[in-house]
Amino acid sequence: MKNILLCVIGVTPQIITETIYALHKKSPPVNIDEIFVITTSKGAQTIKEMILEKGVITQLTKDYGMPPIAFTEENIILIKSEKEALADIRSTTDNELTGDLITETVRKLAQDENTTLHCSIAGGRKTMGYYLGSALQLYGRPQDKLYHVLVSEEFESNPYFFYPPPEPKTLRLKRKDGSVIELSTDKAKIELAELPFIRLRDFVDFNNRSFRSLVSFTQKEIDSSLKIPPLVINPRENKILIGEHKIRLTEKMFSTYCVFAYLKKNKCRDTKKINCKNCYDCFLPMKSDKDKNSLLETFKRDEQYLRSLISKINSTIKTHLRDEKLIPYYIIHGKRKYGETAYGLMIDRAKIIIKKE
């Protein structure tokens, strides 16, 4: 698994090395393989002068026996307007551009399942940290992490302090009151606070959207999902319950519908998903070349008979439910899959309750 560090940075690039150091000191240690930084043109210049040109990261890896870390100017992602890179984030428009860029960067980096994102919100303007945390909520996977780095006040933002070296050094530090003191780097403390966050990846529509519209759309999806009543299967009475609607099916219709409910409830290929949005892996085709994992093989029925039975089940549910917004979740739905139509239930598996007989 490749470990990627993603930071938002202003004019204090020390946060990069402090985060790498703190991750390495975790138990077990986390060694970063590659770094990406989102910043302004002013921040990029500071990173080049203070980090890249001085070889600070290379020295850090040598000091603590870490594997090499990939980080070049190409890994610095600039916040840009239509004309040029932003020197600072001042206006509402600047903030909108920043939010969109951070969200898109997280989305792209999270596409590779063989990576873990370690995101630090310690640098840059407060809105940058907010956007990074929010983007990870939208696109973050189970393995991704969100951190804030806490550094001893005397060493915080000091231009000569990047991490505690193995051999302590004495630095001249300026206090807030303007006085200057000399302090050894072995007095520096760097703490890594891991921040919990709610992962909403399965609610997100991956079409190109601005951060603002993405948040709005996702909220509507969550609100809609919460309003969908559970599907209760009652084997004793050949009934299915959808909210207040009690729908009695014939024995053959009920047993057929139960199989589809069971497939949805128990045959998910990705149990880490928090909901079933845009996932049809449990849907089965009517027939397949090898005659396995198909409806005909599962039900041992004639195709025409099975199609007729599915049609009757759907018709009965539609008659009782009559809510055009809810009907698609409960009928046996056909979805084109790999060049043929596969069948299954759209409702989330978590909302299916199968009562014991």
Domain endpoint, select from 221, 255, 278 = 221
Question: CB under 8 Å to 49, separation ≥6 — which residues?
Answer: none
Q: What is the pLDDT of residue 275?
A: 66
The whole-number pLDDT of residue 271 equals: 65
In a shared domain, residues 189 and 254? no
Q: Which two tokens stand for residue 248?
A: 């009695």
Calculate the dihedral angle through the C-alpha atoms of 292, 293, 298, 303, rounding to the nearest 10 degrees. -80
How many Å is the maximal CA-CA distance in the chain?
89
Question: How many domains does one find in the chain?
Answer: 2
Pair 211, 306 in one domain = no
Pair 190, 251 in one domain: no
Provide the domain limits for residue 91.
2-221
Coil, helix or strand at residue 258: helix
Q: Is 264 helix (H, G, I), strand (E, B) or coil?
A: helix
Whole-number pLDDT of residue 207: 62
- Mean residue pLDDT of the chain comes to 89
Question: 0.85 exceeded by the pTM?
Answer: no
205 pLDDT above the threshold of 80: no
Q: What is the three-class DSSP state of 194?
A: strand
From 190, 221, 252, the end of a domain falls on 221
Residues 148 and 172 in one domain: yes
Q: What is the pLDDT of residue 206?
A: 56
Residue 91 and residue 156 in one domain: yes
Q: The domain spanning residue 194 has which CATH number?
A: 3.40.50
The DSSP string of 32-70 is: --EEEEEE-HHHHHHHIIIIITTTHHHHHHHHTTPPP-B
Residue 128's pLDDT band (boundaries 50, 70, 90)?
A: very high
In this structure, are 199 and 304 located in the same domain? no
Contacts of 335 (CB under 8 A, 6+ apart): 280, 283, 341, 342, 343, 344
Residues 159-171: what's their mean pLDDT? Answer: 92
290 and 255 share one domain = yes
pLDDT digits (tens, 9 = 90+) for 31-85: 999 999 999 999 999 999 999 999 999 999 999 999 999 999 999 999 998 889 9
Q: Domain ends where: 189, 221, 253?
A: 221
Amino acid 190 reads I
Strands 145-151 and 115-120: parallel
Domain CATH code at residue 246 = 1.10.10
Residue-level pLDDT at 221: 67
Q: Which residue has the tokens 């601005």?
A: 210
pLDDT number for residue 223: 64
pLDDT of residue 319: 92
Residues 85 and 20 in one domain: yes
Per-residue pLDDT reduced to its tens digit, 18-30: 999 999 999 999 9
The 10s digit of each residue's pLDDT in 223-247 is 666 678 899 998 888 889 998 899 9
Q: What CA–CA distance (Å, rounded) separates 244 from 149?
A: 51
Closest CA relative to residue 6, chosen from 86, 100, 75: 75
Predicted confidence at residue 325, as pLDDT, reads: 80
Please indicate, yes or no, whether residues 214 and 286 belong to a single structural domain of this protein.
no
| Same domain? 47 vs 133 | yes
In percent, the amount of the chain with pLDDT more than 90 equals 60
- Of 11-20, 154-163, 171-180, 267-276, where does the model show the most confidence? 11-20
**Residues 334-347, mean pLDDT to the nearest whole number:** 84
Is the same domain home to 166 and 236? no
Percent of the chain exceeding pLDDT 70 equals 92
Tens of pLDDT, residues 239-269:
899 988 999 999 999 999 999 999 888 887 7
CB 218 within 8 A of CB 204: yes
**What span, in angstroms and rounded, lies between the C-alpha atoms of 145 and 5?**
10
Average pLDDT over residues 293-297: 86
For tokens 């790999």, the residue is 338
67 and 179 in a single domain? The answer is: yes
